[in-house]
Amino acid sequence: MDSITDKAQQLRHKISQAEKELQDLRRQLEEIEESNSQSQDTNQQFGSTSESENTKHELPEWKWPLSEEEYSRYGRQLILPTVGIKGQLRLKSAAVLIVGAGGLGCPAAAYLAGAGVGTLGIVDGDTVEVSNLHRQIAHNTPRVGMMKVDSLVEYCRGLNPNVSYVAHREHLTPQNSEDIVSKYDLVLDCTDHPTSRYLISDICVLLQKPLVSASALRTDGQLIVLNNPPAAQGSTEGGPCYRCIFPKPPPAESVVSCGEGGILGPVVGVMGVLQALEAIKLVVAGVGKDSNSTSKDPVTPSLLLFSATSTTPFRSIRMRSRRPNCFACSSESTLTLKELRAGSLDYVQFCGVTKPVDVLKPEERVSATEYNAILTKQSDMDHLLLDVREKEHFEIASIPGAINVPFSTLQARSKNSSLAPEYIPKSLSANAPIYVICRVGNDSQLATRRLKEMGLDANGERFVGDIEGGMLAWKRHVDQTMPFT
């Protein structure tokens, strides 16, 4: 009991001491604040050196085009012959638009903000996800769930508050693209899908904006400056557009976004940094506002190819100038702003993507829970589960007993081969069902169709079908501990 009383007394003593200290600190703070406000009054009265007053009233004779802070901030690039004060002023008066605040957009925006472009606009309708963070360097863990645009602006503002940032919290569409893009001198395509690449290129042709386009996937990247110099449709003075270089979109089934295809962080980083570099070169050379001094170099750009695994990581391919029959930039083109806005160009259809595969009949499909119920009922059931994801996905996690035959391998095999594929175990009885699973349930349908074409369904005697929704559905409905990549 005594010890408790002692303890209580000690605590009371400590509290009263802390309170005294606190009072003392408050008094000191009051004194400091009071003396500070007095000295500011004196400064104002006698025109002494308060920093904020300097620029406003006391030094009207500051006749230099940049502020003192800007000379310090940009000093190391200002002294380069390729930039100089003229180049810096061009940067300061330039408005640059970055479409996509992801792996390319983050480094591109960071370097453009650092270099001191006057206005930096960023377009993106997505939010930050944890799977973005290994490559989208401006975002961070506490900002998961935040709009990417806001996260990137916050990052860049911390880097350089002198830049005027414009956040466009939406995806670029045929309907909003004119309003957004027309406010800028130069556009950087930092998106990751052909659909947006064609739209961005078209609007840049129509509004005569140069375009720095880059892409990256797995360990490779590519970069090209398009529409440079910008010129009216039909003019041979102008540089080629994206459609001149890639008149047809890649086959829809070959398009893998980096969500599925994988990407090494520094690879996309390299490409984004190169985009910023090309943008700075263009602005400093006078593209956009000061169009008279636009470079009149030959309008044959180079396509820069980067391959992280090659012994010669950088290669450059000289491209042709504008294509005489280009859909967008040639004299034959019927593309107009009005048509674009009216939605008469269906970019999604043109690129043939985003439509989920729907080739199987309901009776050719089982759900993840149905397949699990079959297995639970009869764990030793004679059957085959083919996992058609790529090897890397399979090695991370798979359903026990599954055999991995990547979709690409399956496709490569001749349809007419009469031999039973080597991945069909010899022990599998002739009528044992075959289930096919993939990542999200698209490839598995095509694989099922393929297996049937190869005659593996024994003229309908054997069930060959897929697991609807793939490993994603398996994770959601059967095994939540399964890592999903």
CB 220 → Zn ion: shortest distance, Å? 24
From the list 212, 203, 357, the residue with the least C-alpha distance to 283 is 212
* Sole window of 176-184, 226-234, 329-337, 437-445 interacting with Zn ion (rule: CB under 5 A): 329-337
Catalytic member of 241, 258, 326, 351 = 258
Joined tokens for residue 64? 């230099």
Which residue, 222 or 372, is less far from Zn ion as judged by CB?
A: 222
Sheet holding 365-366, edge to edge: 365-366, 464-467, 434-437, 384-387, 403-404
Which residue, 122 or 329, is less far from Zn ion as judged by CB?
A: 329
- Write the CB contacts of 253 (distance below 8 Å, at least 6 apart in sequence): 446
Which residue, 43 or 222, is less far from Zn ion as judged by CB?
A: 222
**List 329, 402, 473, 478, residue binding Zn ion (CB under 5 A):** 329
- Return the residues of window 132-161 that contact Zn ion according to CB under 5 A: none
Which residue, 238 or 470, is less far from Zn ion as judged by CB?
A: 238
Catalytic member of 156, 241, 244, 438 = 438
Joined tokens for residue 94? 């330039």
199 interacts with Zn ion by CB under 5 A: no
For 119-235, list the strands marked E by DSSP: 119-123, 164-168, 186-189, 211-217, 220-226
- Return the residues of window 216-255 that contact Zn ion according to CB under 5 A: 241, 243-244
Beta strand 119-123 with 434-437 is unpaired
Q: Residue 242 and residue 225: Cα distance in Å, rounded?
A: 9
Which residue, 187 or 326, is less far from Zn ion as judged by CB?
A: 326
CA 269 to chain centre: 10
CB 241 → Zn ion: shortest distance, Å? 3
209 interacts with Zn ion by CB under 5 A: no
- Write the CB contacts of 71 (distance below 8 Å, at least 6 apart in sequence): 64, 78
Which residue, 149 or 244, is less far from Zn ion as judged by CB?
A: 244
- Return the residues of window 90-119 that contact Zn ion according to CB under 5 A: none
Beta strand 220-226 with 302-307 is antiparallel
169 and 149 Cβ atoms separated by less than 8 Å: yes
* Sole window of 35-43, 209-217, 258-266, 320-328 interacting with Zn ion (rule: CB under 5 A): 320-328
CB 267 → Zn ion: shortest distance, Å? 28
Q: How many residues bind Zn ion (CB under 5 A)?
A: 6
Quick one: CA dihedral 452, 455, 457, 461, positive or negative?
positive
From the list 137, 70, 108, the residue with the least C-alpha distance to 280 is 108
CB 389 → Zn ion: shortest distance, Å? 37
Mask of contacts with Zn ion, 269-308, x by CB under 5 A?
----------------------------------------
Active site residue 241: no
**List 326, 375, 388, 473, residue binding Zn ion (CB under 5 A):** 326
154 and 108 Cβ atoms separated by less than 8 Å: no
Active site residue 438: yes
Residue numbers at the binding site for Zn ion (CB under 5 A): 241, 243-244, 326, 328-329
Supply the residues annotated as catalytic. 258, 438
